[in-house]
Amino acid sequence: MDINSTLIDKGIVLPDAPPPAANYIPFVKIDKLVFISGQVSQNEDGFIKGVLGKDLDIEQGYLAARQCGISLLAQLKNAVKGDLNKVTKVVKLGGFVNSALDFTEQPSVINGASDLFVELFGEKGRHARTAVGANLPLGVAVEIDGIFEVES
């Protein structure tokens, strides 16, 4: 399966990888593992902001998480020097949802990214995961980081 063809078939265009917003680097590669810094919810119109359970519903959060997944892919593409076919496993996603105190559907929101990786990578896209509520920077709705295994 060629991931580039899959992206085209799904109509997914990867943006340029967002630059770091503070004092950190976008990814660290150690042996076959790539650790990608948290990617906040944004699209071509800017940051996707809001509090789930107050300003945004689960579907809007799901789409915000999917955008985080797309940003993770953009960073990952840089880490593997442009060849996403080098990805052998999506290992773990850490999902953070800007949530109202009584909101308990964080896993449903983070499914936006999880579903994306399974859709694109099949069984290699199944991963361990965290999905928690948090107060997020810049008022964004979702932030997700990831760990990926790649060919040497």
What's the pLDDT at 152?
83
Q: What does the domain layout of the chain look like in residue ranges?
A: 43-150
Q: Please give the CATH number for the structural domain made up of 43-150.
A: 3.30.1330.40
Phi-psi region of 123 (alpha: psi -120 to 50; beta: other; left: phi over 0): alpha
What's the pLDDT at 1?
76
Burial group, residue 85, by CB count within 10 angstroms (0-12, 13-18, 19+): middle
| CA 27 – CA 145 distance, rounded (Å) | 10
* 82-93 pLDDT tens trace: 999 999 999 999
Mind listing the pLDDT tens digit of every residue in the chain (152 residues)?
A: 799 999 999 999 999 998 898 999 999 999 999 999 999 999 999 999 999 999 999 999 999 999 999 999 999 999 999 999 999 999 999 999 999 999 999 999 999 999 999 999 999 999 999 999 999 999 999 999 999 999 98
